[in-house]
Amino acid sequence: MGIINISIIGASGRMGMAIVEESKKIPNFKIKYLVEAKGHESVGSTLDNVIVTDRVEKSIKESDVIIDFSSPKSTLNLMKSINRKDTPALVIGTTGFTKKQEEEFGIVKRGLKVLRASNMSIGVNLMFNLTKQLTKILPDDANVEILDTHHKLKKDTPSGTSLTLGEEVKSGKKNGKNFKFEFRGQSQNKDRKEKEIGFSSIRGGDVIGDHSVFFFLDGERIEIIHRASNRNIYAKGALVAAKWIKNQKQGLYSMKDLVKI
């Protein structure tokens, strides 16, 4: 395989720096550009012998794949800026999109080559597939609750990974469209409804990310658990995704396409 030229949007963030570090271990990758927003304090500094820039247009012209862990607004602007629809390919790990931004994403993705995942971990994406398969097997009236635990600085609740797990449950249910998401909170004072999928979140310390899916049946329960102990699993997954998406046709993909079971 030849050299894959990549650029990283959100390069000075935790994920951006982890991807830079992991890319050193894979000889096929060459970092062309590290990109941050205009006015960001890191612009002009050097990270691993690459100058951090705010010139996103250069990364679009000279990259085979752009890996984006920035913000919803930044991600949407990036997608709008790509005129050549076959290249560069995009690996998007940005989360926290509003409903309106999701609708905009659905429009601007047309004709692009995009792999989008709320979680780049290979293990978590196996969990997505297992959750759907187990939902299909279990009775439709099994009660499902989803719990995520993250570090104290994580702002969005529930996590994007939890919401994706919820969508996997919906897709596995025979009448999934009739199930509603219910976000648990202290003010809740009502019985559990029959057709709901519950979400709870815990924030504290330096927890990287734990996710659990509970299937409750009368007299028993099944749990699927994934715990992340090293943030670099997401960086590794993003690079695996970049290698994979480069050779795909135009369209929208997810990490689940890499780990089909």
Catalytic center residues: 150, 154
3-class secondary-structure state, position 176: helix
Give residue 124's identity as a one-letter amino acid code. Answer: V
Which DSSP symbol is given to 219? T
CA distances to 38, 164, 165, 166 from 129, in Å: 39, 11, 9, 12
Q: Are the CB atoms for 138 and 169 separated by under 8 Å?
A: no
What kind and span of H or E run contains 53? Answer: strand 50-53
Q: Are the CB atoms for 235 and 18 separated by under 8 Å?
A: yes
CA pair distance 109, 92, nearest whole angstrom: 11
Q: Are the CB atoms for 222 and 215 separated by under 8 Å?
A: yes
